[in-house]
Chain A
Amino acid sequence: MTKLRAVAVKELRQIRRDPLSLLMLLGLPAFMLVLYGFALNFDVRHVDLAVQDHDHTARSRELVAAFVRSTYFDLAATPAPGADLEDLTARGIARAVLVIPGGYGEELARGRPAEVQLLLDGADANTATTVLGYAGAVVAEANAEALRRTLMRAGGGEAVTGISYRPLVWYNPELSSTRFLVPGLMGVLLMLTAVLATALSIVREKERGTIEQLRVAPLRTVELILGKTLPYLAVSFLAAAIILLAARALFGVEVRGSYLALLAATLLYLLGALGLGILISTLADSQSVAFQGGLLVSLLPAVLLSGFIFQIRAMPAFLQLVTYAVPARYYLVILRGVIIKGSGLGPYPEEVAGLALFAVATLGLATLRLVREEA
């Protein structure tokens, strides 16, 4: 215990002596959260819409009003007939152009199908798809309304109502992507800081030659590993707390589930990350190599292969297999459950097992490598 404490205390003193690194460990996650939280917003609201109305009837104005009322669209321009519509999207004045042909109101009044056209800027495919969906919904609602009126006039009376479609989204009723992104960011940032901090702290000892003195000391590998990782575990937990606080203060994302479940999952996840950091440190001989290696194995998989941004189900079969070795994949599922849905660890036995397996594998390999380095 004395030896373990000596190593841990020394490590904490070195962390404190180096405010820049500490700032990186604690400040960077919060900073990235703000950056990603505001920039990585998949919500599409207030799309600039241009309307070219050739009809100028009450019915055509009703349709435009329905678009604006939905809050998804803002009326940005009303080009006169014959104006260059492509120019509007090219200059970024509008993302979508609604063209209502002349005779639209009359056709509807006669009970005949009327056509409207939607021109869409498809340069950003994600946004375009979303906008297409919104427009479809607005038009469908207008259609239903028109149908109801026609039928009523035809003598159907109150009986005609059609299907009343009332979707209810659970857990994230506004479908806010920030709420969805916070767990992912937490996974990415914790992995990044934990792996880099541990790897760099050991490689720094290699570079400065102090590792030699540690090897000659009667320290068991376990004492060395625990003494090295416990301080960074504490710092990483602090970073996690900062991320959660920032998410709450800035984006109103609260933890709905139990903090204990969150703590347990985070502990398992961090243990794996710290093991990975040690493993990298046994392979790298310089801090720059360790930094690049750490970045490669922590950041890339956690961002790309975890389901953070890209859906795992949509990946090619081979990549889907690879994701099973990415701990962020499991952590993310648990975090989304605990933070957004308010569940515990109960529904996620496979994910918990995945995290535990990863932690055991990396810590085991790291111990083996350290022991072999000594022989």
Chain B
Amino acid sequence: MALAVEIRDLGKRFGAFRAVDGISFDVAEGEIFGFLGANGAGKSTTIRMLCGLLRPTSGSARVLGIDVAKEPEEVKRRIGYMSQRFSLYEDLSVRQNLRFFGGVYGLRGAALAAREAWAVEMSGLAGKEDLLTGSLPGGWKQRLALACAVLHQPRIVFLDEPTSGVDPLSRRRFWRLIDAMSAEGVTVFVTTHYLEEAEHCHRLALIHAGRLSALGTVAGVKAVFRDHAVLEVAAPRIVEALETLARQPFVRDVSAFGTRLHVVVDDAAAGVSRVVAVLEAAGNGPATAERIVPSLEDVFIHHVQHEESRRREPAAGP
């Protein structure tokens, strides 16, 4: 299987700050690859290096076989990129935006006209070509931005938080477009912090503090919970409950989810009764606990916490 992206020990330092700290992974052609992480985790820095916008300070990255540090211009020619702000000209019409981005990628004449027609069809903007882009609803702008990003038919497209600020219905429609592109063999490299969206991806990478903390298929990443159970716990004083449970040896992980706690234990049935008992003994009752199917967010928090404790331990050890 050909590789669309190959990253080896890729790093980017800004002064003393390591924004990306030696990450390595591959993305296969035609894959929808989700790149997850909190704001400031190194997501955008990585994607900017892959697009030839930032020069790596260590390691290497190849996109479609081209070294991003050596031939950034060649990379730019071959990829599509859509930023989280959609980056359309709001004071231009739909058609004028398409013509501009087509022209910037060297399209003209009949080729441009054909791609323009395709883009209007694909984004569902037929009959609205002469509307000002600024007057379109968010979901339409988003589809137009995607159309602009792939006008020149790149083999890979980078989407930097493409669904931020868009209603759920438009988001679903957007993901259908992504699936269709992937089916045609286009590689989609997408960052998001909507964890439910990550379920659309074939494979995921979690980045935390500049390092990769998990990599694999959605099922594989979730499999860390194969031998564990996640319990949703409710108690009157939730912060106090979190502190109480964090001290228990049988509790592997505990984190707050809104007004509830998610608690990771080895055995579901025994866990439920012990959690309730501990909380009520501490005078924090009535408490309830029930087993839930772990979400990606649970997985994410689990990985991040393990990454943090792994980093602390070597410093504390001999």
Contacts and interface: CB of A to CB of B under 8 A. Distances in A.
Interface stretch (A169-177, A205-213, A362-370): A205-213
A218 interface: yes
A17 B104 contact: no
Contacts of A209: 83, 85-87
A375 B103 contact: no
A14 interface: yes
A214 B101 CA distance: 9
A6 B53 contact: no
B157 to A, nearest CB: 11
A216 interface: yes
Contact of A215 (B53, B101, B106): B53
Given A10-B100, A209-B83, A375 B54 contact: yes
A13 B96 contact: yes
The binding surface of chain B is classed by DSSP as loop
B58 to A, nearest CB: 15
A7 interface: yes
Given A3-B104, A14-B91, A210-B89, A375 B55 contact: yes
Nearest to A223: B104
Given A216-B76, A218-B73, A210 B87 contact: yes
Nearest to B77: A218
Contact of A219 (B92, B96, B104): B104
A2 interface: yes
Interface in B85-130: 85-92, 96, 99-108
Contact of B104 (A14, A18, A212, A217): A217
A218 B77 CA distance: 5
A350 interface: no
Given A5-B103, A208-B90, A375-B54, A10 B96 contact: yes
Contacts of B53: 215-216, 374
A253 to B, nearest CB: 38
Interface in A1-44: 2-3, 5-7, 9-10, 13-14, 17-18
Interface string B50-70: 011111000000000000000
Contacts of B91: 14, 17-18
A6 B99 contact: yes
6 contacts: A2-B107, A3-B105, A9-B99, A10-B89, A208-B85, A218-B105
